[in-house]
Amino acid sequence: MRLFIAIELDDSIKKTITGTMHELKKSGVRGSYVASNNLHLTLAFIGEVENVPEVKTSLQTISYKPFKLSLSDFGNFGDILWVGVKGNQGLSQAAKAVRAALDQAGISYDQKKFAPHITLVRKAAGSWKAVKAPKGEMMVRKISLMKSSVRDGKTVYTRVAEV
């Protein structure tokens, strides 16, 4: 099973981001747009795992306080276009807690430096400079263990557990 740990976005933020994605399309930005129900912020990408209960157990050891998540500006990693998230102590501590719990349990995950972002478009082409980045915020009260699968040729993310 392909897993990652993420912050699921509330409907208000998803709606705001989806509106911006429509503006990007209208301005000529091409690529593979993320489905609105798949928008999220990844805290740790785990990948293929056979022992899912072990990952769920490690998730239960995470401790964090609810915090505010606020959108910031657009950015990109090569041809991946994303909207950033304003850095804050709560988000940073949650990401550290997730990674520490995985380390403690001996569960391997992608060790790249945590760069908080929400992917909007993969294989993006065209300029997004004329489009204003979405603005919005939400309170984060849960962290989710998510499963990534493909159904009818489309990527689907499903919550497996939460804390």
List the domain range (segments joined by +) for residue 116.
Answer: 2-162
Cβ atoms of residues 137 and 68 within 8 Å: yes
Number of domains, the chain: 1
Q: Which domain CATH number covers 22?
A: 3.90.1140.10
Give the model's pLDDT for residue 161.
96
Give the model's pLDDT for residue 87.
80
Q: Which residues does the annotation mark as catalytic?
A: 40, 117
**pLDDT tens for the chain, residues 1 to 163:** 999 999 999 999 999 999 999 999 999 999 999 999 999 999 999 999 998 999 999 999 999 999 999 999 999 999 999 999 998 899 999 999 999 999 999 999 999 999 999 999 999 999 999 999 999 999 999 999 999 999 998 999 999 999 9
Cβ atoms of residues 38 and 8 within 8 Å: no
Give the model's pLDDT for residue 122.
97
Distance CA 151, CA 9 (A): 22
